Amino acid sequence: MHPIPIVLDGDPGHDDAMAWLLAKSRSMLEILAVTTVAGNQTIEKTTYNALRICTLLGISAPVGKGAARPLAGVRMNAPSVHGESGLDGPTLPEPDREASPLSACELMAKVLRESPRPVTIVPTGPLTNVATLLLSHPELKEKIARISLMGGGIARGNWTPAAEFNILVDPEAAKIVFSSGVPITMAGLDVTEQALILPEDVEKIRRIENPVANIVWQWLDFFYGFHKKLGYAGAPMHDPCAVAWLIAPEIFEAKELYVEIETQGRYCRGMTAADLRGGAAPNVTALLGLDREKFVELLREAVEAYG
């Protein structure tokens, strides 16, 4: 079986880092490129974090710096969740390379053009780069096999009652992506808030005691700090769900749904509005549940592999 060629596009971000760790751990996935977008923090910080994560994890793919701001609307960051650096907690190695001279969009276009097989894009931040790619290179849409994204929430939001952060930062970009016709797997809050890594799971990772485990348990501990104050039993591993579905779709419950993105609305801008009646032709595979223990085991195995 050929490996699945993928592009990781994110705003690291503790859970983006965990998603990239999971992607690196499986030879069934071939990371062709990493691209960054502003979201959890500014584009400068998310790009610096991406370079440090790739250095730590041994991801040798080029890193393309992406959009500094959404297609429309105002910039939003999340220092309350990920800290001022966007990846607060443990000290990380300095990057072992510079970012690519190509922008995120042009790096994505290059790898799509050159890949012998269609590429899966794994966005775990706002969808600005993916929308820009679709707008500026429509001829490459057929080279996108699937978009497996973390974003949205059918039952609820997290940054507003209606909207999840990644979609809310750039609803116009999300609307372009969700209406593109490209197959989409949507790991929204419905599943990602079930994908909790509990303190006892973190302790098992801490006991692995390899160079990556020594960083990862501190990332998880920091990320849990924000969520613990909100009453969460563990740290929600939002972004790794978008990768885990590619690796082990059988541990997820999914439903084919039609999802529209609200770009207007005083209270609902950024909402992923799903047709649960089944009337409209589906445009996404929406993940609604998972086997949490099997999911956590994927992450633990990924960390252990660095032994």
Question: Which CB, 239 or 258, lies closer to Ca ion?
Answer: 239
Q: Which of 100, 132, 158, 263 binds ligand RIB (CB under 6 A)?
A: 158
Q: Tell me if 39 contacts ligand RIB by CB under 6 A.
A: yes
C-alpha pair distances (Å), 15 with each of 8, 87, 236: 13, 9, 8
* Contact positions with ligand RIB (CB under 6 A) in 85-144: 124-125
Residue 165 interacts with which of ligand RIB, Ca ion, none, CB < 5 to 8 Å by class: ligand RIB
Residues composing the chain: 307
Question: Which CB, 24 or 143, lies closer to ligand RIB?
Answer: 24
- The yes-or-no answer on residue 238 being catalytic is yes
Q: Tell me if 190 contacts ligand RIB by CB under 6 A.
A: no
Nearest in space to 196 (alpha carbons), one of 223, 156, 161, 216:
223
Nearest in space to 58 (alpha carbons), one of 106, 89, 23:
23
Residue 158 interacts with which of Ca ion, ligand RIB, none, CB < 5 to 8 Å by class: ligand RIB
Rounded Cα distance between 230 and 226, Å, is: 7
For residue 233, what are its two tokens? Answer: 């039993």
**What DSSP assignment string belongs to 6-54?**
EEEEE---HHHHHHHHHHHT-TTEEEEEEEE-SSSS-HHHHHHHHHHHH
Nearest in space to 240 (alpha carbons), one of 180, 193, 272, 306:
193
Residue 9 interacts with which of ligand RIB, Ca ion, none, CB < 5 to 8 Å by class: none
User: From the CB of 138, what's the least distance to ligand RIB, in Å?
Assistant: 27
Question: Which CB, 140 or 187, lies closer to ligand RIB?
Answer: 187
Q: Which of 32, 127, 150, 274 binds ligand RIB (CB under 6 A)?
A: 150
For residue 283, what are its two tokens? Answer: 């445009």
State the residues that interact with Ca ion by CB under 5 A.
11, 13, 16, 124-125, 239
Q: Tell me if 270 contacts ligand RIB by CB under 6 A.
A: no
Specify burial of residue 98 (Cβ count, 10 A radius: 0-12, 13-18, 19+): exposed
User: From the CB of 89, what's the least distance to ligand RIB, in Å?
Assistant: 14
Give the interface with ligand RIB as residue ranges (CB under 6 A).
Answer: 11, 13, 15-16, 39-40, 124-125, 150, 158, 164-166, 238-239
